[in-house]
Amino acid sequence: MELSQLRYFFVAAQHEHITKAAQELHIAQPALTQAIQRLERELGVPLFERKGRGITLNAYGTLLKKRLTEVFLILDQLPHEMKEISQQREKNIRFNVQAASTLMVELLIAYKKLHPEVNFQLVQNTGEDHSCDLCVTTVPSGLEDAPQEGLILTEQICLAVPVSCAYAQRSSLHLEEVMNESFISLSHEKPLRSICDRICMSIGFLPRIIFETENPTVFRDMIGAGLGVGFWPVHSWGTLASKEVTLVPLDNPFCKRDIIVQRLKPEAELGWYANDFYQFIFHHFQSLHE
């Protein structure tokens, strides 16, 4: 029993007229008659009473028409329902934020203001998560095996110091000059911490960490209180907004990292909003570079 046979019967049952039904279905009248006859043979019962050139539903046909009314109502609604689901899925952006979370959340909030209908689902999975649309990671700048695809923002990492210390008036610092200082730092799990440790090891020391925090505000306030110094990513954490702390560039080695935003699915498979948010990040990175 084919769906087309049931559709042909249903239209013929609505009209109770083969010619009118064939015209609506845009098929030849003999083809419609043959389709209904095949359906009757499969069901084992007649569906119409034939009187000359006219047809009238019998008890079997009336029952089948009643049942098919419910079926075709559901089937006819399916394209609309599927389109609604598709549109809703397009409004969901699943974003794996492994690095630069402060900067990424600021961009997310800015985009959400432009498109309040968008739903962001944030995860922080360190491995590959192919259920996500986009992912942000970070690596030391200039790394040979760094990802070659995606948006890249090269970010300077300065040293945050108390304004009361001798370094505050310097235009730049060599990193070895502060190797004996106390450091306020992120935890070992954070990629930025690993990058900063790697930079320090490149000139032969590991920073003496006296306190770890995940909060840039706590980080800044502890340095402002004169408890130590710390590495500060200038784009990710923004301006210091403090009279007690200043940033001093490091020029030996020059400290920087790459923030990388990647699409985890082909562009054609991403929803419109995910691609648009990716372009939104691109334009923001472009403005920071300029």
**More confident of the two residues 239 and 198:** 198
Give Cβ neighbours of residue 103 (< 8 Å, ≥ 6 apart): 235, 236, 237, 238, 259
Nearest to 175 by CA among 199, 143, 154, 195: 199
Whether residue 276 contacts residue 282, with contact meaning beta carbons closer than 8 Å, is answered with: no
Give the C-alpha separation, 178 to 119, whole Å.
45
Instruction: Tell me the two tokens of residue 281.
Output: 């990040």
Prediction pTM value: 0.67
Q: At what angle do helices 272-289 and 59-90 cross, to 10 degrees?
A: 10
Residue 288's pLDDT is what?
86
Q: What is the pLDDT of residues 74-126, one digit of tens each?
A: 888 877 777 766 666 678 899 999 999 889 999 999 999 999 989 999 998 77
Whether residue 104 contacts residue 287, with contact meaning beta carbons closer than 8 Å, is answered with: no
Percent of the chain with pLDDT over 70: 93
Residue 282's pLDDT is what?
94
Give the C-alpha separation, 111 to 109, whole Å.
5
Mean predicted confidence (pLDDT) in 149-171: 92
Residue type, 185: S
Q: What is the pLDDT of residues 223-246, one digit of tens each?
A: 999 999 999 999 888 777 789 999
Mean predicted confidence (pLDDT) in 195-210: 93
Mean predicted confidence (pLDDT) in 124-139: 82
Nearest to 142 by CA among 256, 235, 227, 242: 256
Give the C-alpha separation, 220 to 3, whole Å.
69
Task: Kindly indicate the confidence band of residue 58, based on its pLDDT and cuts at 50, 70 and 90.
Answer: very high
Residue 127 has pLDDT above 70, yes or no: no
Residue 206's pLDDT is what?
93
Q: What is the pLDDT of residues 256-277, one digit of tens each?
A: 999 999 998 888 888 889 999 9
